[in-house]
Amino acid sequence: MTTTRILVTGGAGFIGSHYVRTLLGPGGPGDVSVTVLDKLTYAGNPANLETVRGHAAFRFMKGDIRDSGLVTDLVAEHDQIVHFAAESHVDRSIRGAAEFVLTNVLGTQTLLDAALRRPEGSVRFLHVSTDEVYGSLTEGSWPETDPLRPNSPYAASKASSDLLALSYHRTFGLDVRVTRCSNNYGHHHFPEKVIPLFVTNLLDGRRVPLYGDGLNVRDWLHIDDHVQGLELVRTGGRAGEVYNIGGGTELSNKELTQLLLDLAGASWDSVEYVPDRLGHDLRYSVDCTKISTELGYRPRKDFTVGLAETFAWYRDNRAWWQPLKERAAL
């Protein structure tokens, strides 16, 4: 059996680590080896990879995707790249965009150039992106053919990296595949994002900060379903194509807050309305017809079940998240 050597960037983060744990865990493909490249910034956590650290097919490398020499050497040893590494928090991008441009755009370009230099020839490049590149909409859902209209510095940096990656397919024939996912949720999520922040605040008896009127709508995607979609695209997708991956559960932030209050046994007295985020997109919704028709994707995780499981994980794993919140002053 031939082993596919996969380089996973950002593999110590929330989604990347779950992808690695899934590949190397029970029910994984069995014909892969994985090297994680991660800079271990504030959101990268070595503890996320504890269950696979002793796996014979696993290797970890601390490093920056902007380090051309390191990246070139690593890409030369691998058949495929799954690229998660990115700065991803909208609020942080509003406070300062430079790191988002450097990591998300320059870092992606460094990886793409290394892929072109790979001495053994073509490497498959799966670029993991976000529905935020499409902007905001009031009705309907975005197909992959919709124009990109990003509204935050974060989203603009991801849109730039998407277009850059696709240009390397068009210009150089590189096997690039792009995925754009809706909002992810699940365990091991850094507690600055809305669900883990609200859950951990409620577990501590603290109030939760709800932006504006709470009517902004998001589609929620469990990390199990996201990984399912990524694997379908990695193994069966077409080069040069974009695939949306959604969860099929649209909720306003106010509706989501109510569900979390119910799980915590708390009331609306635990909610603090705060000034709305600058440029806050009203609604995201991706059309998943393409990945469903071509690759058979269907979200499997019921949202009510997934949210309850997520709440229980944070309740039972305080030792994982409490030090992170204390260091980040969340």
Q: Which long-range contacts (CB under 8 A, 24 or more apart) does 21-29 make?
A: 21/48, 21/49, 21/51, 21/52, 22/224, 22/227, 22/231, 24/52, 24/55, 24/57, 24/58, 25/51, 25/52, 29/231
Tokens read off for 79 = 């058949």
The DSSP bridge partners found for residue 176 are: 125
Choose, from 134, 154, 284, 314, the residue flagged as catalytic. 154
Name the DSSP letter for residue 13.
S
CA distance 133 to 127: 13
Question: What b/e string do you get for 33-61 counting C-beta neighbours within 10 Å, with b at 16 or more?
Answer: bbbbbbbeeebbbeebbeebeebebbbbe
The residue among 285, 108, 30 whose CA lies nearest residue 181 is 285
Give 56-119 as a DSSP string: TTEEEEE--TT-HHHHHHHHHT-SEEEE------HHHHHH--HHHIIIIIIHHHHHHHHHHH-T
250 as an active site residue: the answer is no
Q: Which positions ≥6 away from 277 have C-beta within 8 Å?
A: 90, 91, 94, 211, 212
C-alpha torsion sign, points 154, 158, 159, 161: positive
192 as an active site residue: the answer is no
Choose, from 79, 87, 131, 231, the residue flagged as catalytic. 131
Choose, from 64, 132, 175, 219, the residue flagged as catalytic. 132
294 as an active site residue: the answer is no
Coil, helix or strand at residue 132: helix
* Residues taking part in catalysis: 131-132, 154
